[in-house]
Amino acid sequence: LGRTELFSLVEHSGLKIQGKDPQMVFSTMLWREPKKIVRLKEHGYWLADEPFPEAGYVPPGTLG
């Protein structure tokens, strides 16, 4: 998912992110969790421990 789409889903779930620019705060939160979330070029954000064959992503430490 892209950041805007993911942010929208988070907001609709009831979570409010505070700050001057809530989407940028959210982006920083994602960036600070590299063991949980990865950003895949042209594909958006993805769970770091889940393979994403369409993007050619194999989690580190697993056999691809």
Question: pLDDT tens for residues 4-53?
Answer: 999 999 999 999 999 999 999 999 999 999 999 999 999 999 999 999 99
Nearest to 43 by CA among 33, 31, 22, 57: 57
Q: Considering Cα of 20, then 24, then 34, then 49, what sign does the dihedral take?
A: positive
- How large is the average pLDDT for residues 54-60? 93
Which amino acid is it at 16? K
Nearest to 28 by CA among 11, 7, 9, 13: 7
- How large is the average pLDDT for residues 49-64? 89
What local confidence, expressed as pLDDT, does residue 12 receive?
Answer: 95
